[in-house]
Amino acid sequence: MNLTAKQLAFLKALAHDRKPIILLGHKGLTDAVVKETRGALLAHELVKVRLHGEDKEAIEADANSIAEQTGAILVDALGKVAVLYKRHPDEPVIVLPKDKPTQVG
């Protein structure tokens, strides 16, 4: 699923006031963390994850890895916090804005 810039901005705004509900500890990205993140995405569709580490590249790699392993979209990664989105397969709660069709002529 590809999101437009407008949809990404919408999701970032929605995530702004939310607190991280998944905390990545010093053990890094474990199977348990991936399982809990999948469950959180199923329940909330949009979650914040607090990442652990001092190295910017390692934090970025963890953010990309958790998104890939959960099938989510990495909406934003700022500092040690990543925002993930995954549409609920049956009953989506978040309605993404549609892009206006372009007018020709």
Q: pTM of the entire structure?
A: 0.89
**pLDDT of the residue at 27:** 86
Residue 34 Cα to chain centre, angstroms: 13
**pLDDT of the residue at 26:** 84
**Domains parsed from the chain with CATH numbers:** 5-85 (3.30.110.60)
With contact defined as beta carbons under 8 Å apart, do 22 and 36 qualify? yes
Look at residue 37 and give its three-state secondary structure: helix
- Walk along the chain (105 residues) in steps of 10 and give the mean pLDDT of each run: 89 95 89 95 96 88 95 95 95 85 52
Among candidates 71, 67, 35, 72, which has minimal Cα distance to 51? 67
**pLDDT of the residue at 100:** 59
